[in-house]
Amino acid sequence: MSMPEPEFSLMIDLRQINDVPLMVEPDAAARRRLAGRFGLTEISCMRAEVVLEREGDRVAATGRLTADVIQPCRISGEDFPVTIDEPVAMRFVPLMGETAPDEEIELTAEDLDEIEYEGTAFDLGEALAQTLALAIDPFAEGPNADAFRAEHGLNDSAPSGPFAALAALKKD
């Protein structure tokens, strides 16, 4: 079984790393594929400025990711613009090998941003795509969400759920 091709791939070879900041901007086709993957209507622009610092076979990537996206309101479904501005802080590390299924692994805050890679190159594009995915609010509400709720009777402050049903049965 092969892995699906990433929507945005930018392979970085360890031997190419220098101290020049990288400007990473996916083209329109990659942004369209990423928008589909993340349930967005559109990613009109996405840009990351990343500094790579190599420490042997480990690489720290720090910088900033910005994007302008159009996403549907979770209440009305109406599209609205969202600006994303996220810090980039991750570490690429060589594949650690298999761990025994019952082996306990203790993670510290520093381990959580580690991304394993094989060989001599890692995919910075996919890592930035995942950074964008984590920055998107899946419950975002557009500017007309309250009006939509009111128009469709969704602002009802009456109790709801199983306890409300029980309360309705209990008549004094």
Instruction: Provide the token pair at 94.
Output: 């060589």
Burial of 96 (0-12, 13-18, 19+ CB in 10 A): exposed
What mean pLDDT comes out for the span 33-39? 95
Instruction: Give the pLDDT confidence of 75-95 residue by residue, as tens digits.
Output: 899 999 999 999 999 999 999
- Tell me which H or E stretch contains 129: helix 124-135
Q: What is the dihedral of CA 51, 54, 58, 60, to 10 degrees?
A: -20
Q: At what angle do helices 124-135 and 28-38 cross, to 10 degrees?
A: 50
Domain ranges across the chain: 11-96+104-144
What pTM, to 2 d.p., does this model score? 0.78
Burial of 50 (0-12, 13-18, 19+ CB in 10 A): buried
Question: In percent, how much of the chain has pLDDT > 70?
Answer: 78
